[in-house]
Amino acid sequence: MLQGAMNYVYSGLSVISKKNEKIIEHVDFTKTAVYMKKMTDEEIEEYIETGEPMDKAGSYAVHGIGSKFIEKIEGSYSSAIGLDTEKLEEILNKL
């Protein structure tokens, strides 16, 4: 259902710290657009046979075999994998 279309990947994070007995919490998320290429039925079957899509939200891995089916990514690559490391660094620098 995703092939030939765009889908959004959301990655959320929460950082909690304690400073001078005060708890500081920062919660944020990132929305990344992933554009998938059109795939033949044979390509879909071969990908399923690898087992990779079976334990993935969205049934593909941006950093795995599924990467060959990605046309482009708009936004954070690390967010599409699972954790927006740039957003995490930004939050930690503020704290």
Give the Cβ contact number of residue 84 at 10 Å. Answer: 26
Q: pLDDT value at position 48? A: 93
6-94 topology per CATH: Maf protein (3.90.950)
Question: Quick one: pLDDT band at residue 60, thresholds 50, 70, 90?
Answer: confident
Average pLDDT for the chain = 91
Q: What are the angstrom distances between the C-alpha of 83 and each of 3, 21, 80? A: 23, 28, 7
The count of other CB atoms within 10 Å of the CB of residue 60 is 23
Statement: the pTM of the whole predicted model exceeds 0.85: no
| pLDDT score of 50 more than 90 | yes
